[in-house]
Amino acid sequence: MKFRRPLAAIGILAAGLMAGCGGSGSSSDNRSLTIYSGREEEIVQPLFETFEKQTGITLDVRWGKSAELAAQIAEEGDNSPADVIFSQDAGALGSVASKLSALPQTTLDRVPATFRDGDGRWIGTSGRVRVVVYNTKAASGAALPDDVLAYSTPKYASRMGIAPTNASFQAFVSAMRITHGDARTKTWLTDLKNNGVKTFESNRQIVEAVAAGEIDYGLVNHYYLALVKAEQPDAPIANKFLAAGDPGALVNVAGVGILATTERAKDAQTFVDFLLSDEGQRFYSTEAEENEYPLVAGFDPAPGLPKLSELVGESFPLTRLADEEKTTLEMIDEVGFTV
């Protein structure tokens, strides 16, 4: 007798769980999209909210690391519940390109060909530049080398941080392999390791460690500076932009693709077009705390940033990053940065 009551209670609780918080279980006539987002929630949430308000389409977002979500899509195969992948790295998009459907030409034409897939299956929505972040008490930007190869010496490496499991770092290593060849890249990585480079989980942690004086330099994306400055306005940190075309100044993109298996292709297209709309791009020029580069012509980056055209040198199509990823990961493994 007494045993029945807990059973009834659990039934009610379970029902509450399903009803109250079952985001994914929403019915199909309710217009909603499932987004796998490698972009951080704090960064893109305002953009997502604007989209929801304008279109009435609800976004169910699975937040994670770009590569992790790409691997998950690969794992899920035709069963993937995702409609759209929003990645912070071209490599991750490239690795699932075969599972994405081609975007219409009008969409693709919004950004320069460098920043999208050759077969039109994914498109960049904003740009991020690799930089050396440094502690202004320890160094002056003008005196720092503008060739990333110079940073593997003990002078820099012993006071430097990298994030070897981070997709942006891996894309940068791929870029170095394309520019300088495998042998030179491996030597460079080995030097870094032997000269005592510190490894971190994320770009963000590196910039914080530089701000705290734990290290003096870090290989990161440019926009983390603005994010950390927002929390610690007095932090003694600045970005050193390297020479145009240097792999250490790689211009990578955050981008988006629509899963070929989606049943909500039309709404997914609306979402992609929103990200590339004037409003979506203006977000990066003015609103976004993180100072990413808008990619559509006519939108300038946030004040104080060099123009994108000054950074892109003799470049290669970003599609190549995905092809190089496997070898790059193996190299990072071999050097012993990852297990």
Partner 1 sequence: MRLASLSESRRRRRHVGVGASRRPPFLLVAIASLTVALLSVPPIYLIVRASNSGAWSIMNRPATWHTVGRTLLLVVCVGACSLIIGATMAWLVARTDLPGARVWGVLSVAPLAMPSFVAALALAGATGPQGLLSKLTDAAGLGTIRPLHGLLGATIALTMATFPYVYLLSMASLRTLDPALEDAARSLGRGRAATFMAVTLPHLRRALTGGALLAGLYAISDFGAVSLMRYDTVTRAIFGRIESGVDRRPAAALGLILIVLTAVFLFAEIVARGRSHLRSGPGLRRAPTPVPLGRWKIPALAFAGLVGFSFVIGPVTVMAYWVQRAAANGTLGEVEWGATVTSVLLALVSAVVVTIVAVPVAVLARRYPRTWTRAMERTGYGANALPGVVVGLSLVFLAARYLPAVYLTFPLLIAAYLIRFFAQALSGVDTALAAVNPRTEEAARSLGRNPLQVLREVTLPLMRPGLFAAAMLVFLSVIKELPVTTLLIPTGSRTLATEVWRKTTIGAYGAAAVPALVLILVAIPFILVAVREHTLDAPAESPATTLT
| Binding residues for partner 1 (CB under 8 A) | 1-3, 6, 9-10, 13-14, 16-18, 20-25, 34, 40-42, 60-63, 65-72, 74-77, 79-81, 92, 95, 165, 167, 170, 199-202, 204-205, 208-209, 212-214, 227-228, 230-232, 325-326, 329, 333, 336, 338-339
Pairing of β 84-87 and β 160-162: unpaired
Nearer of residues 51 and 312 to partner 1, judged by Cβ: 51
| Tokens (6 digits) for 71 | 């691997």
Give the shortest CB-35-to-partner 1 separation in angstroms.
Answer: 9
How far, in Å, CA of 23 to CA of 17, rounded? 10
Give the shortest CB-64-to-partner 1 separation in angstroms.
Answer: 8
How far, in Å, CA of 321 to CA of 328, rounded? 9
Give the shortest CB-312-to-partner 1 separation in angstroms.
Answer: 26
Cα-flanking dihedrals φ and ψ of residue 114, to 5°?
Answer: -60, -30
Nearer of residues 24 and 153 to partner 1, judged by Cβ: 24
Give the shortest CB-186-to-partner 1 separation in angstroms.
Answer: 15
Helix (H, G, I), strand (E, B) or coil at 323: helix
Nearer of residues 11 and 317 to partner 1, judged by Cβ: 11
Nearer of residues 41 and 109 to partner 1, judged by Cβ: 41
DSSP 29-85: TS-EEEEEE-S-HHHHHHHHHHHHHHH--EEEEEE--HHHHHHHHHHHGGG---SEE
Q: Are 204 and 228 in contact (CB under 8 A)?
A: yes
CB-side neighbour CA atoms (13 Å) of 68 = 10
Nearer of residues 68 and 119 to partner 1, judged by Cβ: 68
Nearer of residues 131 and 249 to partner 1, judged by Cβ: 131
Give the shortest CB-108-to-partner 1 separation in angstroms.
Answer: 25
Give the shortest CB-160-to-partner 1 separation in angstroms.
Answer: 15
Nearer of residues 180 and 193 to partner 1, judged by Cβ: 193
Cα-flanking dihedrals φ and ψ of residue 282, to 5°?
Answer: -60, -30
Where do the DSSP E strands lie in the chain? 32-37, 58-63, 84-87, 122-135, 160-162, 198-199, 217-221, 237-240, 251-258, 293-294
CA angle 94, 96, 101 (to 5 degrees): 95
Nearer of residues 263 and 333 to partner 1, judged by Cβ: 333
Give the shortest CB-193-to-partner 1 separation in angstroms.
Answer: 11
Give the shortest CB-70-to-partner 1 separation in angstroms.
Answer: 5
How far, in Å, CA of 317 to CA of 101, rounded? 19
